[in-house]
Structure 1
Amino acid sequence: MSKAAAAIDAAKAEGRSAFVGYLPAGYPDKETSIAAAIELVRGGADVIEIGIPYSDPVMDGPVIQQATTEVLARGFRISEVFEIVRAVTEATDAAVLVMTYYNLIDRMGAEEFARRLAEAGGAGAITPDLIPDEAADWIAATEKYGLDRVFLSAPTSTPERVARIAELSRGFVYGVSLMGVTGARDAVSDAAEKVVTAAKEAGAERVCVGLGVSTRAHVEEIGAYADGVIVGTALVAALRDGGPEAVGALAAELSGRA
């Protein structure tokens, strides 16, 4: 069974939605990013997303863009991602996925990337700019190495596209709650529940919702209808301002363990 699905199902068995936390790989440096991810799990995260810094992050808002720009400026290399994933998986029980624009996988080669991710103990990858219709190489590689592949479903996705996403995602479907870039917002988009409903009706077993989630109230609201709640920008800001300890404290608050 997929590692992400198992983590989400374990949370459901406890009567709650899974808490999914995002942090950029190597921010502000490799060892601190590992420590922050471990603190995130201690604070209640069931699934970790490790974002791979990219020079043209079309989905990322200003907080994450700034963090990844700093990482790239110090000479970040893709090999660091596998080292970080290995360290976090060895230290925690969380399912650890990478989140990456597909160009980075394609440049390395889908099979090589999948092999190295699997060897590091990774659960799989979220590919925000890859659509199922163009994912044959990645689907084959993830099947070979038993990795989760998470596609995104948005408020604007057609019923036909949602059906393909539901069919070909492994682990969960990433429900985008609004159009635009990532970033903390005051309120959850009213489109979020519709995205979850559409994916479920199309056959998705698990749908986690992200973009704009930043408070415990958001987590509770989304958790009422989604299988998991994804938080990114708020955690990155906590890491920026207070280090790994602040990440753990915010995770505990968001997950309801504080």
Structure 2
Amino acid sequence: MTTRLRRRLEQLESERRGMLMGFLPAGFPDPAAFTAAARAGFDAGLDALEVSMPGPAPALDGPLIQQAAERASQHLSGIPAALELAAASRSLPDDTIVALAYASTLDGVDPDDFFDALAAADIDAYLLPQHPMAEQLALGERAQARGIEPVIFLYLEEDLPALAASAIERPVIYLQSASLRTGGQFIPEKAQERLRELGEALGGKQYFVCVGFGVRGADEVELLMDAGAHGAIIGTRLVRAAEDGPEAITALVDEVAPALVGRRRAADAGSGSATEHRAAR
């Protein structure tokens, strides 16, 4: 079984275009506004939406996302309700949603129960940013056996050998940039260095990599595309836009879309546009 996320990444690779992934806490600013924001993003050309489950955001998230997570949690009773809302917020059936669960969210929850909830809600990708690499990889193998896509969160250089040796074929990787918190400073040189380290460590092993933390707009996305990333993740700015309304979401995606063609710039420079990005859906 091929997941929505993998299908999207493979389609974008064939087009030599990058993936734009956004982030929102499930139910923020409220369930109706969340649905409107998600659909506006997908309609504008957002390739995937990372949706956090109810619960407090950890220190790795900046103050804006922490506040948004707290507000969102007031509207939802738990993981199943959040997954149901996320799934119902798709614009098209194949729109890609990645369920994010913090360590505190899954405290006391059996992984198989979490996978059951994902399957029941028709969400086929997830991210566990606080779990140690060994746990992410072990759970990822179990998830893939059930047709669910693990997104492997990578920050520590020391985790690269384990990732390289993993049995997960062509893993989808969320690479944390140099910033220690979402919404922090984006350091181009460090992001490029981390992408190089990843490529060198994995050698001939194929992978998809999307970069997040500190990614705000077209400038950062263009740099990441030129550096070989398969995608970019915008969180803090998308959360702020969601509170401003669907029009702000659309404007943000339209602004960033032209930068996604950086993966094919050498072959056909200047051919991308926001209109083309939407049409590719």
Q: TM-score, normalised by structure 2?
A: 0.81
What's the offset of the Cα at 1:171? 5.1
Q: Specify every segment of 5 or more residues in structure 1 that has no aligned partner in the other structure, as ranges.
A: none
Contact 1:111 1:138 in 2 (8 A): no
Between 105-114 and 3-12, report the one with greater CA deviation: 105-114
Check 1:93–1:248 CA distance in 2 against 1; reply closer, same or farther (3 A cut).
farther
Q: 1:30 and 1:144 mapped to 2: Cα distance?
A: 32
What's the offset of the Cα at 1:107? 2.8
User: Deviation digits for residues 189-242 of structure 1, max 9, x if unmatched?
Assistant: 3221222233333124111111111111111111121001111111001112x1
1:109-128 aligned at under 5 Å gives the runs: 109-128=110-129
Check 1:157–1:233 CA distance in 2 against 1; reply closer, same or farther (3 A cut).
farther
1:29-48 aligned at under 5 Å gives the runs: 29-48=30-49
Q: Tell me the residue number matched to 2:181.
A: 181
Q: 1:158 and 1:76 mapped to 2: Cα distance?
A: 35
Q: 2:151 and 2:6 mapped to 1: Cα distance?
A: 11
Q: 1:20 and 1:38 mapped to 2: Cα distance?
A: 13
Give the letter aligned to residue 78 of structure 2. R
Contact 1:162 1:198 in 2 (8 A): no
Contact 1:18 1:46 in 2 (8 A): yes
Contact 1:151 1:169 in 2 (8 A): no
- Does residue 228 of the first structure (1) align with residue 231 of the second (2)? yes
Q: 1:34 and 1:108 mapped to 2: Cα distance?
A: 26
Contact 2:178 2:191 in 1 (8 A): yes
SS of alignment partner, residue 219 of structure 1:
helix
Check 1:189–1:82 CA distance in 2 against 1; reply closer, same or farther (3 A cut).
same
User: Deviation digits for residues 12-62 of structure 1, max 9, x if unmatched?
Assistant: 222211111111100011121122111111121111111123225122111
Between 99-108 and 228-237, report the one with greater CA deviation: 99-108
Match of 1:214 among 206, 213, 216: 216
What's the offset of the Cα at 1:139? 3.2
SS of alignment partner, residue 56 of structure 2:
coil
SS of alignment partner, residue 48 of structure 1:
strand
SS of alignment partner, residue 229 of structure 1:
strand
Contact 1:150 1:170 in 2 (8 A): no
Give the letter aligned to residue 226 of structure 1. A
Check 1:161–1:138 CA distance in 2 against 1; reply closer, same or farther (3 A cut).
closer
Q: Tell me the residue number matched to 1:65.
A: 66
Q: Please tell me the root mean square deviation across aligned C-alpha atoms, in Å.
A: 2.4
Check 1:169–1:238 CA distance in 2 against 1; reply closer, same or farther (3 A cut).
farther
What's the offset of the Cα at 1:253? 1.3
Q: 1:158 and 1:91 mapped to 2: Cα distance?
A: 36
Between 138-147 and 122-131, report the one with greater CA deviation: 138-147
What's the offset of the Cα at 1:135? 4.1
Q: 1:191 and 1:70 mapped to 2: Cα distance?
A: 33
Q: 1:148 and 1:105 mapped to 2: Cα distance?
A: 18
Identity %: 27
What's the offset of the Cα at 1:106? 4.7
Check 1:251–1:47 CA distance in 2 against 1; reply closer, same or farther (3 A cut).
same
SS of alignment partner, residue 181 of structure 1:
coil
Q: Tell me the residue number matched to 1:78.
A: 79
- Does residue 253 of the first structure (1) align with residue 252 of the second (2)? no
Check 1:75–1:208 CA distance in 2 against 1; reply closer, same or farther (3 A cut).
closer
Q: 2:76 and 2:62 mapped to 1: Cα distance?
A: 22
SS of alignment partner, residue 221 of structure 1:
helix
Check 1:34–1:170 CA distance in 2 against 1; reply closer, same or farther (3 A cut).
farther
SS of alignment partner, residue 22 of structure 1:
strand
Contact 1:48 1:97 in 2 (8 A): yes
What's the offset of the Cα at 1:173? 0.6
Contact 1:17 1:223 in 2 (8 A): yes
